[in-house]
């Protein structure tokens, strides 16, 4: 989960997301619209009996925010939860994902996040496994997950013996709130999906500069310069009537045609073949 604004726990319920799944929460900065939903999420997870550990990453000030919640509203969890105070350049592994945080230019300290997934193997080829005498079942699953197996006759079968070439890594980059900056351009290089704030249309570029945000055109220019494959713009100002078509989206698409407007409960499939919309709730754009 990248950022945790108000009503996040409600949206998780609407999305049908389980409360006990493996997950991590990545906070970009300590402005209210990016972090006020965190106490509610932690309390809801506890009330619903979450047992899995939960790691939360964010700027150093996040520690003080969580401690204040513990001291004032008894913000504790029934499951193991750990808050990591991080800086730009921090890297770690989140399950199958490699995460790297990078600093962006906003009002105060703020981060963006780069997430990369590299499949351990290429596509599993059943015919090769059968020809090598590997029985269908658990051994196939083990090999497809990138782990070698030993057969009863002592032969060792390696994953590359029964799989095709590895696909290219899949990279998703999330900007958080920022002005255009080299740190974001570098992180977004060749990204399969760039999720980028674009709060204003060009007519309000002065507000974007003053408040540390971007216009749709500026977000699209980042996507062009980074050679990203798909751009999703979010964090739009409520001054625009989204139901009649957003000028922010129109301006962004004029620069970078493969631009989508984030909407509540939008689901995208991201893999080496590209980005495809699976479904979305058209009730209201984000």
Q: What gap in Å lies between CA 1 and CA 4, rounded to an integer? A: 7
Which of 33, 250, 271, 282 is flagged as catalytic? 33
Alpha helix positions (H), 158-246: 182-187, 205-211, 216-226
Strand partners, 97: 94, 117
Shortest CA distance to 161 belongs to which of 148, 179, 142?
Answer: 148
CB burial of residue 232 (10 Å; 0-12, 13-18, 19+):
buried
Q: What gap in Å lies between CA 118 and CA 169, rounded to an integer? A: 5
CB burial of residue 138 (10 Å; 0-12, 13-18, 19+):
exposed
Shortest CA distance to 53 belongs to which of 25, 91, 29?
Answer: 25
Residue with tokens 């989960």: 1
Angle at 97 between CA 96 and CA 102, to 5 degrees: 165
Residue 33 appears among annotated catalytic residues: yes
Q: What gap in Å lies between CA 123 and CA 164, rounded to an integer? A: 5
- Active-site residue list: 33
């Amino acid at each position: 989960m990248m950022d945790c604004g108000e009503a996040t726990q409600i949206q998780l319920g609407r999305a049908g997301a389980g409360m006990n799944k493996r997950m991590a929460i990545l906070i970009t900065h300590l402005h209210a619209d990016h972090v006020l939903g965190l106490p509610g999420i932690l309390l809801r997870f506890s009330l619903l009996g979450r047992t899995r550990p939960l790691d939360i990453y964010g700027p150093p000030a996040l520690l003080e925010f969580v401690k204040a919640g513990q001291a004032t509203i008894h913000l504790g969890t029934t499951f193991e939860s750990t808050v990591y105070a991080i800086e730009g350049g921090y890297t770690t592994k989140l399950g199958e994902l490699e995460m790297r945080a990078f600093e962006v230019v906003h009002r105060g300290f703020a981060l963006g996040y780069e997430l990369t997934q590299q499949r351990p193997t290429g596509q599993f080829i059943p015919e090769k496994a059968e020809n090598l005498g590997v029985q269908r079942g658990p051994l196939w699953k083990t090999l497809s997950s990138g782990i070698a197996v030993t057969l009863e006759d002592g032969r060792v079968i390696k994953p590359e013996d029964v799989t095709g070439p590895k696909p290219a890594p899949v990279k998703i980059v999330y900007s958080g709130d920022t002005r255009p900056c080299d740190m974001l351009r570098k992180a977004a290089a060749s990204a399969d999906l760039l999720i980028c704030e674009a709060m204003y249309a060009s007519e309000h570029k002065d507000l974007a500069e003053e408040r540390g945000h971007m216009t749709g055109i500026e977000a699209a220019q980042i996507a062009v310069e980074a050679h990203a494959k798909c751009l999703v713009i979010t964090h739009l100002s409520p001054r625009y009537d989204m139901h009649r078509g957003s000028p922010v989206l129109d301006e962004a698409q004029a620069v970078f045609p493969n631009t989508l407007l984030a909407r509540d409960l939008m689901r995208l499939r991201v893999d080496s073949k590209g980005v495809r919309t699976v479904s979305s709730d058209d009730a209201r754009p984000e």
